[in-house]
Structure formats: structure tokens, C-alpha cells
Amino acid sequence: MTKLKMAVAGVCLAMCAAAAEKELSYRVQVDGTDVPLLSETVRFGSKHPDGKISFEGPYWFGSFTLTKPVTVTVDCTLPLDKVRILPASAGMTHRRISENRIAFHADKPFKISIERDGRYSPLLLFADAPEKGAPAPDAPKVRYFGPGVHAAGRIDLADGETLYIAAGAVVNGCVRAKGENITICGLGLLTGDAYPRFKGPGRYLLDLVDCRNVTVRDVMLSGSFSWALVLSNCDGALVDNVKMMNSNMINDDAVDICNSRNVTVRNSFFRAQDDIIAVKGMGQDRDAPPTRDILVENCIFWTDRANGFRIGYECNTEEMSNIRARNIDVIHCSKDFRPPSHFWSNAVFWLQPSNGIRLSDCTFEDIRVHADREGIILVQAEPRLCRCHGIPYKKAGQIRDCVFRNVSVEGDADKDGKKPPCLIVARGPSGQENVRNVTFENVTCFGEKAKEDAPFVTVGPHAPDVFFKP
């Protein structure tokens, strides 16, 4: 049996037989009724140029539908004396029932991480609002997967079709969608867990190509064998209330927005080892369609080894512009702190336009970052010589008219009681490949305001018109 099948069979007590911490397991009850839990495995460092696996272990996730105020109890086979619930903005106040049990009340939908040991072996729990408009199993143009485990392989969707994954369904496979008015929905799980890295039945877990008015709503996604949710040359896309559980390998980007327009990502939870939101131009030349008019809002990010937003590494497109993000909780940043000079440095916001492109009109506001004991780069705005399809670019790009507003970083001290470094960098490689008109307004790192002469801020060279406002 696969680990997902084992978890479904176990219903309320998810175990991972191969896990190093065999004794660790969770049980969740909502008003006394058990919630089925599934598990995924984290492998930090797997097939990464930096070296060998540094950590391997399980984490758990589950969901239920919230129709009224409830009491949620969580039992763990290990002590919960240091447990915390993230994000803090969820406002979940728990109470200790015993050494191994906590409880809390909920009266509205939520997405939370219950952590007894930080990012290691947490429990991710999601309460969804009741579904509206679920299709009938025999409705025209509907691919319907009911409760149970399904070996689906690659699922192809075309104009007007709907893929529905019901609550309690575990669908092993992937989706390729191409056409107009396509919907992927339901409260069940689509997983690539049965496939090795880069050897799935398709390119990506959700591969949306040349779509117009495509919707991905409510589903859970896990165990991606490559990039997870990819929009390629799409116009009009909505990603809403998606819950993603990855981080078993590098290259498992959560959402890749490639040469696409009019994209909204909202109300979602994303955990990945690699980038969470990656904005790309993946065409073969600069005449490829633009990447613009993107909104990301009301989301929770967790990246284990990469970036929250990575914008511009691949720049085969005529422009990247009008990118907005608001009301975002970053509950865990990369555990691999590298200095800004490192080619593979990681940041919460990494703006690195290349190939002569101008990245412009970006606004990031109302962002709350929880920093672990490792240091972080909050913002790195620096045109770079990157690459696409393995071919290096010959020149960097430009950054214009970007705003970071109401951004705060809080977090844990290290073992010596010191706060980890939190860096802001804005610089360009030359007078033509530069950074202009970037504003930091009410940005704080561990309570200290970002300003030009702050010790954690680097501005220049080739970065005129960088402003700091209280």
C-alpha cells in the first residue's frame, strides 16, 4: 500500500511507517468526530546541487467542512507543550487539555499549521466552507471522482469540461487542460505521490496551457513530481481556496505564471520546497506573450528552500507588469540562508529581471513574515544574468515603479538570543540595467523600521530613486 492509502485506511490516526519518527502521529476530532488525515514526506536537499539530504520526515494534513461553530481537539503521541498555531493572523487561541492534547474553537473557515517543533513534522488543518454548485456525477462534460483512491494517470480536459474531485477522493495522476471555460474543483485530493521526480504521466501536476477563463477551486494538491500548478499562455485564470502540500523535492514550485494575463490567486495555502509564486516568460524568444495583470491575495506561503515570490528568472516575454500581492502570511521562509551575492540566494521577494526586460508596476502590501532562526533576505531587487531553457541571457533587465507597503518581519531568536539577519537589497549591475522608483513604506524587520541607513539595508549601485517612508 502507498502511504496515502495507509493514511486513508487509518482514518483518524495518520502514520508513516517509513518515517524516522515512528512514534509521532496525530489525531483530530471536530465535536468528537474524527477527521481523516493524510501524510506527505519532506526531503530537504534531495537532488539539489548543494548536497545530500539533510532532513527526511513526515508531516500530516486534513480537512473538513465547517457548517457551524465547533470545538477542534488535536492529540499527539508526543508532547504539545511548545505547540503554536500559524499564521498568527488566524487568531487561533488554543488551550492545553493535557500534555498531549490541545483544543480550540472555530466559527469560520481557516487554514492553519499546528506546530509542535516548528517546520518539522507539523499538522496542517483546513476548514472549508460548504461547497456550492457541485456537479452531478453523470452531468455532461464532467469528469467525476467520488470518495476512494483512484489511479487516474493523465487527465485531459478541453473546452467547457469540469473535473470534480469529491471530498474523500484521492486521485493519483495529473491534469492537462487546454481550451476555454475549464473548471477543476471539489474538496478532494489530486496527488503525484505515486510518481518519481520528473517521471509523472504529464509535465506538471496541473498543466494549464492556452486556457481562457480557467478555474481551479477548493482542491487539495500534494506530492508534485515537478512544478505543481502551471499557467502557460493563459488569459483569465482563477485559483481559489487551493491547499497544496509539497516539499518532497526541489523543483516543486507551487504556482508558475508563465506568459499569462489576468490571473488571480486567492484564499490559498501553499507549501513547497521551491518557489511559491514564480512569474516567468517561458517562450522561445522576446515575442512570446506578456506576463502581466496578476493579483495574489489572502494567501499563506511556506517555502522550505527557495523564494516566496520569484519574478523574472526566465524572461522570454515582451513585458512583466502590474503584479499585485496583498494580505499574505509567510509562515516559513527558506531554511538555506545565502548572502545576496550568491547566485542561488533566496528571498521573500526576489525581483531579478533579465534578458533586457523591464519589470514594472509591482505592489506588495500587508505582508506578514514569520522568520525562523535562520536569516532571511526580505527583498532582493536586483536585475541579473539569468537563463531560460538552459540558455544564459546576455544582459540583465530593469526594475521600475515598485512598492513594498506595510510589510513586517517577526520571528524567533537563535540559541544565543539574537535575532537572525533580515536583509533588504536594491541594486543594479550597470547604469542601463538598474533599479528606479522603488518605495519601502512602513516596512519593519523585528520592529526596526527600514530606512536607507539601516544596517540591514543595501541600496546601490545603480539604484537611484529608492525611497523609504515611515
Break the chain into its structural domains and give their ranges. 3-128, 227-469
Confidence of residue 56 (pLDDT cuts 50, 70, 90): confident
Q: How much is the pLDDT for 281? A: 96
Question: Between residues 335 and 311, which one has the greater pLDDT?
Answer: 311
pLDDT at 21: 43
Q: What's the chain's average pLDDT? A: 92
What value does the mean pLDDT take over residues 332-361? 96
Q: What grid cell was written down for 374?
A: 535562520
Percent of the chain with pLDDT over 90: 86
Instruction: Give the pLDDT score at 9.
Output: 33
Instruction: Compute CA 324 distance to the chain's CA centroid, rounded to the nearest angstrom.
Output: 16
Alpha-carbon distances of 254 from 38, 128, 201, 231, rounded to whole Å: 19, 20, 18, 11
Residue 53, pLDDT score: 64
Task: Find the mean pLDDT for residues 311-329.
Answer: 96
Which of these ranges, 48-62, 143-157, 191-205, 399-413, has the smallest mean pLDDT? 48-62
Tell me what percent of the chain is helix, strand and coil, each rounded to the nearest 5: 0, 55, 45
Q: How far is CA 233 from the centre of its chain?
A: 21
Half-sphere exposure of 315 (CA within 13 A, CB side): 29
Decide if pLDDT at 51 tops 80.
no
pLDDT at 6: 36
Please tell me the least confidently modeled range out of 45-54, 175-184, 313-322: 45-54
> Residue 382 pLDDT more than 60?
yes
CATH fold, domain 3-128, is Dex49a from penicillium minioluteum complex, domain 1 (2.60.350)
pLDDT in tens, 74-99: 999 999 999 999 999 999 999 999 99
Can you give the pLDDT at residue 283? 82
**Cα-atom radius of gyration of the chain, to the nearest Å?**
22
Sorting pLDDT into bands at 50, 70 and 90, what band is 52? low
Backbone phi, psi, residue 22, to 5°: -60, -30
Q: Side-chain half-sphere of 459: how many Cα atoms within 13 Å?
A: 18
Question: What percent of the chain shows pLDDT beyond 70?
Answer: 93
pLDDT of 328 > 50? The answer is yes
Q: How far is CA 115 from CA 112, 153, 372, in A?
A: 9, 34, 13
pLDDT score of 107 more than 90: yes
> Is the Cβ–Cβ distance between 316 and 284 less than 8 Å?
yes
Residue 308 is predicted with a pLDDT of: 98
Residue 409 pLDDT: 97
User: Do 3-128 and 227-469 share a fold?
Assistant: no
pLDDT at 47: 45
Tell me how many helices (H) and strands (E) the chain has: 1, 41
Which uninterrupted H or E stretch holds 334? none
Matching CATH number, 227-469, of 2.40.50.100, 2.160.20.10, 2.60.120.10, 3.30.460.80 = 2.160.20.10
Predicted local confidence at residue 416, as pLDDT:
76
Residue 459: closest CA among 431, 432, 423, 433: 423
Burial annotation 134-172 (CB, 10 A radius, 16+ → b, else e): bbeeeeeeebbbeeebbebeebebeeebbbbbbbbbbbb
CA atoms 118, 122, 123, 125: torsion sign: positive
pLDDT digits (tens, 9 = 90+) for 11-28: 333 333 333 344 899 999
383 neighbors 398 (Cβ within 8 angstroms): yes
Q: In the structure, what pLDDT confidence band is assigned to residue 417 with cuts at 50, 70 and 90?
A: confident
- pLDDT over 70 (residue 383): yes
Cell of 212: 481562457
Cβ(304)–Cβ(247) under 8 Å? yes
Q: Which of 295, 298, 299 is nearest to 260 (CA)?
A: 295
pLDDT of residue 386: 95
